[in-house]
Amino acid sequence: MPARPHSPGAYPPGAYSLDHLVLPTASLDVARARLVSLGFVVAPTGTHPFGTENCCVFLEDGIYLEPLAVGNAQAAAKAIADGNVFVARDRAYRDSCGNEGFSALVLGTQNADADHARYVEAGLSAGGMLSFSRAFTDAAGNSDTASFKLAFASGNGATDAFLFACERINAPKVDRGALQVHANGATGIIEVVAVSSEPSEQRRLISIATRSPATGQGSSTAFDLPNATLTLLDPAAFETRFGIPAGAPSELRFAAIVFSVRRADTVAKLLAASSVEHDIRGDDIVVRPVSGQGAAFVFQEKA
């Protein structure tokens, strides 16, 4: 279905919804094995036309995880030379933080051109826009083509995490139902947690990218999206909440994902059976990041 025409400044009011999360990894095989051990169903490998590849985890609420690896280093290098911001930022993140992590938060938009104009006007553009298409295959082997247009925003740091707006020019006409039923009972994402030792420097970036005003101050700031909350903590507040040292990142770092699950005891039993180390902190089941899982995964029971 072709995109509807928009004027450069036209977009609906209100905060943007969380679309998906980008989790760099050195190996999709390692990421797939790790995610399966956590009770997730993982989609077949998808290949981008610019050297990267993914194996996504789709959730009932429409949000998904995108573990991302470099499948063709030569194509990725050419894409960077040609000005592909997505691949360039992925390379910069890996060079700075290693091959395992959580590099980008993606917001759904109906007009990526207008978002790019907003980012440029605010001095937050991370570079030129990107349009591309790729094949998509569901669990039954049915295929279609997915097409996207992306606009990128970041702070002053060259290697910090970033946010981008994703406009779906063509959504795959395939059934994802089988990919959304997970053994751990995960149904969606409640919250994404970011960390910075200078959170005041990051509030403007996040607020403009999400179109959501910041609430709270000091060590904890929240941005309410229609389908999730984005929380910005300083390192001490992050460690207090999750029991995981966060270091002292001055730039923006995405660090934790909070999933809604049907039953916490189901998750605990599954993790124990898979020999996955985890901590119980109040109502949270916390799994620390390891290879193939670039962020802390937190499971919360929600009726």
- pLDDT for the residue numbered 137: 67
Q: Residue 211: what residue type?
A: R
- Read off the pLDDT of each residue in 41-51 and give the average, rounded to a whole number: 93
The model's pTM: 0.91
Q: Is residue 143 scored above 60 in pLDDT?
A: yes
pLDDT tens for 253-265 read 999 999 999 999 9
User: What DSSP line would sit under the chain, residue for residue?
Assistant: -PPPP--TT---SSPPPEEEEEEE-S-HHHHHHHHHHTT---PPPEE-TTSEEE--EE-TTS-EEEEEEES-HHHHHHHHHTT-HHHHHHHHHHHHH-SSS--EEEEEES-HHHHHHHHHHHT-B-S--EEEEEEEE-TTS-EEEEEEEEEEE--S-SSS-EEEEEEEEE---S--GGGG--TT-EEEEEEEEEE-SSHHHHHHHHHHHHT--EE--TTEEEEE-SS-EEEEE-HHHHHHHHS------SS-EEEEEEEEES-HHHHHHHHHHTT---EEETTEEEE--BTTB-SEEEEEE--
User: Which has more confidence, 46 or 174?
Assistant: 46
Q: How confident is residue 13, by pLDDT bands cut at 50, 70 and 90? A: low
- Token readout for 11 is 């977009």
CA distance linking residue 285 with residue 300, whole number of Å: 7
Q: Is residue 231 scored above 60 in pLDDT?
A: yes
User: Which has more confidence, 181 or 11?
Assistant: 181
Q: Is residue 135 scored above 80 in pLDDT?
A: no
Q: Is residue 124 scored above 80 in pLDDT?
A: yes
pLDDT tens for 246-292 read 887 778 999 999 999 999 999 999 999 999 999 999 999 999 999 99
Contact of 94 with 69, CB cutoff 8 Å: no
